[in-house]
Structure 1
Amino acid sequence: MRIAVIGAGAMGSLFAGRLAHEDQDVCLIEVSGAMIEAIRGEGLRMTGYFGEQIYRLAVGPADRYANTFELLIVFTKGMHTTSAMEAAKHVIGPDTWALTVQNGIGNVEAIEAFVARDRIIMGMTNWPSTMIGPGLITVPGGGEIKVWAANGQATEKLETISCALDEAGLNCKLDPGVEVAIWEKLAFNSALNSLAAVTGLTVGEMGDRSQSRTIVFTIVEEVVAVARAKGLAVDADHIRNSVEHAFANHRQHKPSMLQDRVAGRRMEIDTITGAVSKVGAALGIATPVTTTFANLLTIVDGEVSRV
């Protein structure tokens, strides 16, 4: 397949590299000059789980490309999804498919303004990938991907794309109930990212304090309540166990919102914590702690935007 990965960050680079490893025709769409220069000069470099790898891939802004792609894999942060798709709309044809395993919710709706829902695949992934520097990532362990059609209909193309990801070593599974997995990850991210970004605590430090543990698990409970009001059979115990595992095994990790705040970048609020607050309000489900953190994060994010 002719594939464009939009966003050459930690996750986009992982997917692009692994697909290229299996001889897929992969290009990277990226706006960062430093990232483009590094990948053009030294290749896309990967260490860790898959060993030491270097992939020579085409990379550049969307306007570098002229022909349409068979598949777009969107790996921007949620607040950049619309602008990224707008920039890439000239490479979207009537047979182009789009895949999103981005964090949070609302990305399918943003992509749908450019690609018909019957050609959108949605899902989640728990693959770990960390950017060490421009064009260099490390993959500290294994993971999986769960995907399904955004319109709920199984197709041959859905299976083809899933198989390509699986053959790339990314452990991709077709899961008609993937929305449950998306919301379970949303609960995990809403809790840990929100508290970390406001307090500056690492994952281990949050787990060490009774006060922070109370906040984290309260947010989890609120997200679970909203998901169940939507008719999704999310597993609260599974989410709690995932959080406890993170407390014990990812102690030094700084969640992405905290990393963004420290770096002076905008945070993914509207597709994570803020999204839960809005959906809860629409369904009449109270989310006082989640909403308070969404408001706090929005205030902080506004300060970042003015810098």
Structure 2
Amino acid sequence: MNIVIAGAGAMGSRFGIMLKQAGENVILVDGWQQHIDEINQNGLKANFNGQDVTEFISAYNQNDLSDVDFSADLVILFTKAMQLDNMLQSLDNMLGKDTIVLCLLNGIGHEDVIKKYVDYDNILLGNTMWTAGMEGPGKVTLFGNGSVDLQNLGEGKEDVAQKVADVLTNADLNARVSSDILTSIYRKACVNGTMNGLCTILDSNMADFGDTSVAKPIVQKIVSEFLAVARAENVFLDEEAVIEQINGCFNRETIGLHHPSMYQDLIINNRLTEIDYINGAIVRKGKEYGVPTPYCEFLTQLIHSKEEIVEAK
């Protein structure tokens, strides 16, 4: 299968490496030229569960695709939410009437942008519980285990979703077709809505934050706001189960020493964050539904203040 990884950061690199190892025809598309050059010159390097791995995968700048001859069967979206529209514009010459687009972005509501570029029946929404870290241009750290949930938006297109799930599972990415992806997306959003913003503001990994005396009540307040908005959209989650999943992020023996993607973006790479598409989205939806979201609003404001202080780009 011809696969485009759109957004070759830490998570995109993980999927690119694992799909390439499984024999798929993969290219990477990104906007970070130094990262692209390093991959093309020396391969994409990874510490893969303690083992050094190098995969040679063609990488392209999203602004230089007009002469690239690649017809995509599948596009997996990992670009930042605020860059989604521009990325899809750049990929236009690679998208055909049968191209499937799988959106694995953090946040909520991305299908409204994607449907401008591909048929609604070819859109899959999903989320992934895999983790990855960016060490520098052309180098990532991949550790732990994970999974992917995905669902077709087009009615009666379960076969399309299953085809993609099979490709991912063949690459050991542990994918399954869901019949209720919004529940999975909101569950993942609860993890992102707590770990990303809080660890970024506190300059902390997840385990160190989890060890603080106030971690649990802060997490509970933020989760309660996410779930209240979800209920307004007829999505119902078990609060205790969601918090238990988040508590698993504090385990030092598994992923607790990990710094979430928002931390990597803002603190390490001085990049603008996706806060408006995570906690900020809950604030917007809360106003629409009349649901108070003071913790999410405050955290969103704090992240934007930090972006301004460090002059993030």
TM-score by length of 2: 0.91
Match of 1:159 in 2: 162
Q: Deviations over 1:208-239 (max 9, x none)?
A: 32334322220011111111221112121222
Bigger helix fraction: 1
Displacement of 1:305: 4.9
Structure 1 stretch 30-39 or stretch 211-220: which is displaced more?
211-220
Match of 1:69 in 2: 72
Q: 1:268 to 1:99 in 2, by over 3 A?
A: same
Matches of 1:157 and 1:291 in 2, distance apart? Answer: 38
Whether 1:254 and 2:259 are equivalent positions in the alignment is yes
Match of 2:228 in 1: 225
Displacement of 1:199: 2.9
Displacement of 1:151: 3.3
Alignment of 1:80-119 (within 5 A): 80-119=83-122
Matches of 1:20 and 1:190 in 2, distance apart? Answer: 31
Whether 1:59 and 2:59 are equivalent positions in the alignment is yes
Matches of 1:23 and 1:247 in 2, distance apart? Answer: 35
Match of 1:98, as an amino acid? V
Match of 1:124, as an amino acid? N
Q: Deviations over 1:137-171 (max 9, x none)?
A: 22211111110112353343222111000101111
Q: Deviations over 1:60-101 (max 9, x none)?
A: 123332343111111111111111111111211211111111
Give the match's secondary structure for 2:126: strand
Whether 1:194 and 2:197 are equivalent positions in the alignment is yes
TM-score by length of 1: 0.93
Match of 1:41 in 2: 41
Matched length: 307
Match of 1:13 in 2: 13
Q: Does the 8 A contact of 2:271 with 2:312 survive in 1?
A: no
Matches of 2:248 and 2:214 in 1, distance apart? Answer: 18
Structure 1 stretch 179-188 or stretch 258-267: which is displaced more?
258-267
- Over aligned residues, Cα RMSD in angstroms? 2.0
Q: 1:209 to 1:34 in 2, by over 3 A?
A: same
Q: Does the 8 A contact of 1:73 with 1:100 survive in 2?
A: yes
Q: 1:51 to 1:163 in 2, by over 3 A?
A: farther
Alignment partner of 1:275 out of 281, 294, 298: 281
Structure 1 stretch 247-256 or stretch 216-225: which is displaced more?
247-256
Give the match's secondary structure for 2:275: coil
Q: Deviations over 1:22-50 (max 9, x none)?
A: 22111111221211111111112233249
Matches of 1:112 and 1:260 in 2, distance apart? Answer: 27
Q: Does the 8 A contact of 1:219 with 1:290 survive in 2?
A: yes
Q: Unpaired runs of 5+ in structure 2? A: none
Matches of 2:206 and 2:49 in 1, distance apart? Answer: 22
Q: 1:224 to 1:152 in 2, by over 3 A?
A: farther
Q: Deviations over 1:108-135 (max 9, x none)?
A: 2222221222111111111121222222
Alignment partner of 2:295 out of 266, 285, 289: 289
- Give percent identity, aligned residues only: 29
Q: Unpaired runs of 5+ in structure 1? A: none
Match of 2:248 in 1: 245
Give the match's secondary structure for 1:270: helix
Give the match's secondary structure for 2:72: coil
